[in-house]
């Protein structure tokens, strides 16, 4: 084959690929869109995704279905999206776990920073430094002092090793000097049961799950884990204001596979951010204490990179490994 013939073929192929990509973007969506949630049905992330799917179905004129693919801390569902055709018909709706797992698991088949395109961060919510009423501390400083006086430290219950509730406590130890004994539970419900029963002295439950209990007086909130105060607990200070650098939030990001056409990313971004202003989603976010973000793809990508780096430093310093 002559050089000129090879060059001609290359030009034709490049043109064809470019045309195919444009056609895919223009036709999007032309069939059912799958919104993968890498967790079991019924949780807050699943509910959020299903509300979003209803609005996207209306906007796209095609059915958007939530596909729950739980397992390995969210890695199974994430890998499914990474390996899906990059045409916008398979999307990922995931939490901060996707930024935690690169440092928690030694062998991942994907890199969230390289193999996925961040479309937007719909929202973010706080964890709450919460204590059992028997704990005689009224603020984080008193809690740290008490932990240092307590043999073996205070019992600290989390939703499981490597969860954001665990890492919030780890940062409290690293930057606040708290002396804590970690007790990992298998999920938010048993961790909350242990905290209510006094089996654990402190915890970092999500703001949505703890608000009704705080109002009943069965638990006491001392601080929130995010740099900004929670919109639903405006009188509770941030840990960062006392121990600078503590910043853990339970966020959500929508991703698409790498090489998804830019026009598709733009369309999905526009419809997702528009959906956040719908009455049902605003009501849900307000009830759950989720503050809207609606970032651009560039902002979302930069945010995820920062979170991967932040969690990596915390996990490495603590020597945490997935169980």
| Rounded average pLDDT over 116-132 | 96
pLDDT single digits (tens) 270-295 = 999 999 999 999 999 998 899 999 99
pLDDT, residue 42, reads 87
Instruction: Extract the tokens encoding 54.
Output: 């209803």
pLDDT, residue 187, reads 87
Q: What is the DSSP string of 8-63?
A: HHHHHHHHHHHHHHHHHHHH--SSPEEEEESS-TTSHHHHHHHHHHHHHHHHHSS-
pLDDT, residue 5, reads 47
Half-sphere exposure of 229 (CA within 13 A, CB side): 11
pLDDT, residue 25, reads 58
* Domains of the chain: residue spans and CATH: 28-124+249-318 (3.40.190.150), 128-224 (3.40.190.10)
pLDDT, residue 23, reads 42
What is the four-CA torsion angle of 305, 310, 311, 312, rounded to 10 degrees?
90
pLDDT single digits (tens) 254-273 = 999 999 999 999 999 999 99
């Amino acid at each position: 084959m002559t050089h000129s013939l090879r060059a001609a073929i290359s030009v034709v192929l490049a043109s064809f690929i470019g045309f195919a990509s444009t056609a895919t973007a223009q036709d999007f969506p032309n069939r059912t869109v799958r919104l993968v949630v890498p967790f079991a049905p019924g949780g807050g992330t699943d509910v959020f995704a299903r509300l979003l799917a209803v609005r996207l179905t209306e906007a796209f004129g095609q059915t958007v279905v939530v596909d729950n693919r739980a397992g390995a801390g969210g890695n199974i569902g994430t890998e499914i999206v990474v390996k899906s055709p990059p045409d916008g018909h398979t999307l990922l709706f995931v939490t901060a776990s996707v930024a935690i797992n690169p440092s928690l698991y030694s062998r991942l088949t994907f890199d969230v920073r390289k193999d996925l395109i961040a479309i937007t961060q719909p929202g973010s919510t706080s964890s709450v430094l919460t204590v059992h009423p028997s704990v005689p501390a009224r603020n984080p400083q008193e809690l740290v002092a008490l932990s240092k006086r307590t043999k073996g430290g205070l019992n600290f219950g989390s939703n499981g090793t490597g969860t954001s509730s665990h890492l919030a406590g780890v940062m409290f130890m690293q930057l606040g000097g708290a002396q804590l004994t970690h007790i990992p539970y298998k999920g938010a419900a048993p961790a909350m049961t242990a905290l209510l029963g006094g089996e654990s002295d402190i915890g970092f439950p999500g703001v949505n799950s703890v608000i009704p209990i705080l109002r009943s007086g069965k638990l006491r909130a001392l601080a929130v884990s995010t740099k900004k105060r929670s919109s639903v607990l405006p009188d509770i200070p941030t840990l960062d204001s006392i121990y600078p650098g503590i910043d853990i939030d339970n966020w959500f990001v929508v991703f698409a596979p790498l090489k998804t056409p830019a026009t598709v990313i733009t369309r999905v971004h526009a419809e997702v951010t528009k959906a956040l202003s719908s009455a049902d989603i605003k009501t849900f976010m307000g009830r759950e204490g989720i503050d809207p973000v609606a970032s651009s793809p560039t902002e979302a990508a930069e945010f995820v990179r920062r979170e991967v780096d932040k969690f990596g430093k915390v996990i490495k310093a603590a020597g945490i490994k997935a169980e």
